[in-house]
Structure 1
Amino acid sequence: MLHEHAELLLRLIIQHTFDEIFITDHLGNVRAVSPSCSDLYGIEAKEILEQNVFALEEAGVLRPSVTALVLKSRDRETLVQQTRTGRTVVVSAFPIFAEDGQLLGTLSFSRDITELEQLKKRNDQVAKTILLFQKEIAELKSKNVQGLYLSNGKMKKVLDLVSKVADLDVTLLLTGESGVGKNRLAHMIHEISERREEPFIEVNCGAIPESLIESELFGYEEGSFTGAKKGGRMGYFESAGHGTLFLDEIAELPLNLQVKFLSVLQNQTVTRVGGNARIRLHCRIICATNQNLEQLVKERRFREDLYYRINVIKIAIPPLRERREEIVSLIYQLTEEFNAKYKMNKQFAPSFVAWMSQQEWPGNVRELRNFIEKAMITSNDLLIELNQELIEEKHVMQEGEAIGFDRYMEAVEKEFITRMYHKYPSSVMLAKQLGISQSTANRKINKYVKNRLVKND
């Protein structure tokens, strides 16, 4: 009876174990094997019974056979196998001896570590990315990829986080007030990632009519609705390929499509309207909103499960009023951008820069950008002076705590002299360009650029 119970227990262990169990006699003939053999080695358990491990090794089923090694060495053996089904398994085999030392057979355990190996490779890739991001960011800065963003103040923390997550395949959520530059930051993330050569597709979820947004995002099959294009059409998820899909104003996505979007994120597949086939998703998804999603969740206007799914990494972009120290540099950067765009060579007078620096910009970078662009286009002068018409155009003067004009003028002068010195790198050239004496130019270079005594050129 005890013997029968032992056999029953052995069969149950072999039947239900998570590991693949393999038992042979002293000649290598298979006496027992667990059902998982099929998944790991591509052969049914009943087909492998009574076969010889040396023959299985020669046939390529076991490559190599750990049991065969044990039969030869009569000692414990452990190695990692790559099976013909594409799985990675670690196998440990042991000799079974009788009390008199006679070899009775072998017992081996195989554990599937495919996912662990993939995770290890992923972690190695992440580690490599983090080590290289500083060099990559430096290279991109030289190409002016960062656009309007500065590497100081509050934006430095944002850029540091962007650098760390750019190459990670996680969904990002960009938040911030309207006009802070969420779309520009999404472009930057794409440009400094390994997907930079792939498409970048930007979709404003609030700008597409509700009746069309499903077919625009997910695509459709031929005949799925009246007017459907012959042959169907890819949606934005498919069109993004291995690139980046940027979904702006994600809070405007209708509730019924939020469910479908959640399924896309969870399964990494998309199904076209009117179709059944699941299409594998390869793009990276970045979402953005200027609304309070937590409040929308409470009001049941945004799905809680979708919120947590897209909020894996949240990057909050501060409004311009919280990084006023960057406004002067933003003005000069925007000026250079529009000069290049419209093939002009215009500059703002220091007093005009100081005035803009003291204004409130509730529309953030977008409002500042639009104001500067219009001022440059409408002005007939190379040096744009502050005038009443432009003041009236702005309509909003600084409110709240007053900041000294002298302090702003000094900041403007420092920025202006630094930039001009980079273009005209000597006191003689700078003095001639600005219409000032060489000694004055020397003094300003010493004060703002080199911060030390500069010899006459």
Structure 2
Amino acid sequence: MNLSENDTILLKHILEHSFDEIFIADAAGMVLYTSQTTELVFGIPREQIVNHNLFDLEKQGLFSPSVIANVLRTKKKDTLIQETILNRKLIISGYPIFDSSGLLIGAMSVSRDITEFEYLKKENDQVAKALQLYQEENEKLRKQAASPFLHRNDKMAKVFDIASKVANINVTVLLEGESGTGKNHIAHMIHQMSSRKAEPFIEMNCGAIPESLFESELFGYEEGAFTGSKKGGKKGYFECARKGTLFLDEIGELPMNLQVKLLSVLQNHSFMRIGGTKEIEVNCRIICATNQQLETLIKERRFREDLYYRINVVKIDIPPLRERREEIIPLIYEITEQLNRKYGLDKYFTPTMAAWLSQQQWPGNVRELRNYIEKQIITTSGNEIDLESDEDTNQNSSIDANQEIPLDDYIETLEKEYIVRMYQKYPSSIKLAEKLGISQSTANRKIQKYVGTR
């Protein structure tokens, strides 16, 4: 093939300005041409390649393997990924060159540097993993934001696991537990973790509203519905909740006649105001709570069985505080912090006092504990609250000041409180061991024993 001078110049420019590295060899493997930037990619001077045999260069390990050598051997196209001595990663495709009669007269290869692509791919993989970890951590933080306490008790961990799972599922939830166990807190948490959190959270205590006002409070009324009704009527709790959450506390106290109407609302997803003729659609989520055994009330014909099954789609049993003593000390510190912010104070319970409080019975559960802490914060003169600060421990308190605790249990309680508090501040075994002056293995054992893996 004869090329004119202009054709030769044009071909040279095409080869030199190609984005890819180009090799051309004859049928014997003699290199006829390489791009000028070859040395930057392969780390081999151009003069050591041009007019040298690729089979020899392959034997020397400079190209291992050589794509062009493979093409010349097989007379077929070949593609492989090769890493150069400069740690550049290339994707190389080789092509046989035949003349018009089909005779092999040489081969060429085109190499594209994919080092940056590989780097970006690795970076993207790392970003994807980091994003996944971020999303997982964000989910943990979302749950912690709704529930600030560290739940080390298995029963409470199960409670919060179920609550988090049902938060975004539009089902009716029934919370059961003794008075003061935190049913209101769980209901709030479910609302805050749901997609309804920007909507209202409306609470109605069924045991605190006179029976004569129940219906109007729950469903509202139209103007002129009865003597004394407000001008323009009034919205009930269902309407006020809009697309949010309606929390019906002490559902066992709901009168039988209203149980029928509530059942109708749950079945039909609509209601009418008192004196109204227009159906109003129910868009809110219903959470019910009780400190009574509804099964017993059903047997006593004080609660409708059909309503029970309607509200009991998902039931969450909240254990009393005496069954989750591991949480008492974190609760003490959390409640103390909340009340300090409320009253603008800086009171604190000593570790000894907190450990002693964790051994008490608290029949009124979290509500009683909170009331006790609030009283001590308000009435104690100094900032430090210790056993000596409590003037009522020997009087009409539900706490037994003379309760005898085994020494080992008392020491373990103090150690546990201290380890938990320090681990929250230094959340790694290395840092914890350094701060406490103990070995890392000992710190790990303490963390496993008192903090756990949750």
Q: Is the 8 A contact 2:143 2:193 kept in 1?
A: no
Aligned to 2:157: 156
Aligned to 1:292: 293
- Assess, with a 3 A threshold, how the Cα gap between structure 1 residues 408 and 337 changes in structure 2: closer, same or farther: farther
Distance in structure 1 (CA, Å) of the matches to 2:413 and 2:376:
22
Q: Secondary structure at the match of 1:411?
A: helix
Q: Is the 8 A contact 1:222 1:232 kept in 2?
A: yes
Q: Is the 8 A contact 2:152 2:327 kept in 1?
A: no
For 2:167, the aligned partner's letter is: A
Q: Is the 8 A contact 1:357 1:408 kept in 2?
A: no
Q: Secondary structure at the match of 1:196?
A: coil
Q: Is the 8 A contact 2:360 2:400 kept in 1?
A: yes
Aligned to 1:345: 346
Report runs of 4+ in structure 1 exceeding 6 Å deviation.
Answer: none
Distance in structure 1 (CA, Å) of the matches to 2:435 and 2:148:
32
Q: Which 5+ residue runs of structure 2 have no aligned equivalent?
A: 1-133, 448-454
Distance in structure 2 (CA, Å) of the matches to 1:334 and 1:420:
18
Aligned to 1:409: 411
For 1:407, the aligned partner's letter is: D
Distance in structure 2 (CA, Å) of the matches to 1:343 and 1:307:
45
For 2:184, the aligned partner's letter is: N
Aligned to 2:370: 369
Distance in structure 1 (CA, Å) of the matches to 2:383 and 2:423:
19
Distance in structure 2 (CA, Å) of the matches to 1:316 and 1:425:
31
Distance in structure 1 (CA, Å) of the matches to 2:164 and 2:156:
12
Q: Secondary structure at the match of 2:235?
A: coil
Distance in structure 1 (CA, Å) of the matches to 2:227 and 2:267:
31
Aligned to 1:328: 329
Instruction: Confirm or deny that 1:386 pairs with 2:381.
Output: no
Aligned to 1:175: 176
The structural deviation recorded for 1:255 is 0.6
Aligned to 2:254: 253
The structural deviation recorded for 1:417 is 5.0
The structural deviation recorded for 1:223 is 0.3
Distance in structure 1 (CA, Å) of the matches to 2:178 and 2:221:
34
The structural deviation recorded for 1:332 is 1.9
Aligned to 1:217: 218
Q: Secondary structure at the match of 2:234?
A: coil
The structural deviation recorded for 1:421 is 6.5
The one-character-per-residue Cα deviations of 1:64-83 (angstroms, maximum 9, x if unpaired) are xxxxxxxxxxxxxxxxxxxx
Q: Is the 8 A contact 1:418 1:449 kept in 2?
A: no
For 2:362, the aligned partner's letter is: W
Distance in structure 1 (CA, Å) of the matches to 2:150 and 2:264:
34
Distance in structure 2 (CA, Å) of the matches to 1:191 and 1:350:
32
Q: Which 5+ residue runs of structure 1 have no aligned equivalent?
A: 1-131, 431-437, 453-457
Q: Secondary structure at the match of 1:174?
A: strand
Instruction: Confirm or deny that 1:442 pairs with 2:444.
Output: no
The structural deviation recorded for 1:328 is 1.9
Aligned to 2:31: none
Q: Is the 8 A contact 2:175 2:183 kept in 1?
A: yes
Identity %: 58
- Assess, with a 3 A threshold, how the Cα gap between structure 1 residues 402 and 293 changes in structure 2: closer, same or farther: farther
The structural deviation recorded for 1:163 is 1.2
Distance in structure 2 (CA, Å) of the matches to 1:173 and 1:273:
27
- Assess, with a 3 A threshold, how the Cα gap between structure 1 residues 378 and 241 changes in structure 2: closer, same or farther: same
Segment of structure 1 superposing worse, 350-359 or 172-181: 350-359
- Assess, with a 3 A threshold, how the Cα gap between structure 1 residues 206 and 340 changes in structure 2: closer, same or farther: same
Q: Secondary structure at the match of 1:318?
A: coil
For 2:437, the aligned partner's letter is: N
Q: Is the 8 A contact 2:153 2:324 kept in 1?
A: no
Aligned to 2:397: 395
Instruction: Confirm or deny that 1:242 pairs with 2:237.
Output: no
Q: Is the 8 A contact 1:178 1:364 kept in 2?
A: yes
Q: Secondary structure at the match of 1:367?
A: helix
Q: Secondary structure at the match of 1:285?
A: strand
- TM-score computed with the length of structure 1 as normaliser: 0.62
The structural deviation recorded for 1:441 is 4.3
Distance in structure 2 (CA, Å) of the matches to 1:420 and 1:351:
16
- TM-score computed with the length of structure 2 as normaliser: 0.62
Aligned to 1:139: 141
Q: Is the 8 A contact 2:143 2:164 kept in 1?
A: no
The structural deviation recorded for 1:270 is 1.4
The structural deviation recorded for 1:347 is 1.7
- Assess, with a 3 A threshold, how the Cα gap between structure 1 residues 300 and 418 changes in structure 2: closer, same or farther: closer
- Assess, with a 3 A threshold, how the Cα gap between structure 1 residues 444 and 271 changes in structure 2: closer, same or farther: farther
Q: Is the 8 A contact 2:152 2:326 kept in 1?
A: no
Q: Is the 8 A contact 1:328 1:353 kept in 2?
A: yes
Q: Which of these two proteins has the greater Rg computed from alpha carbons?
A: 2
For 1:256, the aligned partner's letter is: N
Q: Secondary structure at the match of 1:358?
A: coil
CA-based RMSD of the aligned residues comes to 3.1
Instruction: Confirm or deny that 1:266 pairs with 2:267.
Output: yes
- Assess, with a 3 A threshold, how the Cα gap between structure 1 residues 424 and 409 changes in structure 2: closer, same or farther: same
Q: Is the 8 A contact 2:176 2:316 kept in 1?
A: yes
Q: Is the 8 A contact 1:199 1:243 kept in 2?
A: yes
Distance in structure 2 (CA, Å) of the matches to 1:375 and 1:386:
11
Q: Is the 8 A contact 1:417 1:445 kept in 2?
A: no
Q: Is the 8 A contact 1:133 1:164 kept in 2?
A: no
- Assess, with a 3 A threshold, how the Cα gap between structure 1 residues 439 and 419 changes in structure 2: closer, same or farther: closer
